[in-house]
Amino acid sequence: MGIQNLIWQVTKKAFTGGIIGITISDRCCSVVPVRGDSMSPTFNPQRNSYLDDYVLVEKFCLKDYKFARGDVVVFSSPTHYRERYIKRIVGMPGEWISSSRDVIRVPEGHCWVEGDNKASSLDSRAFGPIPLGLIRGRVTGVVWPPQRVSKIG
């Protein structure tokens, strides 16, 4: 009877911890890996490194879509919903953006995002302005690797 009680107690605590973890990750903040070099040198400054940066993403900004030009955000791809990108907001609703082809006005409810490394970035220059509803959070800092821990913005 003692081992069954121990297993039950551990299971309850693990389940409770999992529910709390999912809630925090969904509503408050999460840690996300940065893959590729589209945001270099801000993230992953050393190309061909096996050590990707991990960033802290806060989600309180989603309540009222409180974003500003210069914020680094995580968003779902407008073409492939399961893919996530990390880019910098360079244009807010109503602003005019000069792209390689012409001048574009960012529609209401959208923003224009670009990678810091424009030569290696799939961003609004390829798929246009993104709806604010696709944004999943704002990057607030680098949390891994230890030598790169820093605040963003």
pLDDT digits (tens, 9 = 90+) for 6-49: 888 888 888 887 777 676 666 677 888 888 888 888 888 776 66
Gap between the Cα atoms of 6 and 90, Å rounded: 54
What's the confidence (pLDDT) of residue 114? 92
Q: What is the pLDDT of residues 38-93, one digit of tens each?
A: 888 888 877 666 778 889 898 877 777 788 899 999 999 888 888 899 999 999 99
Q: What is the pLDDT of residues 45-54, one digit of tens each?
A: 776 667 788 8
Question: Where in the sequence numbering do the catalytic residues fall?
Answer: 38, 87
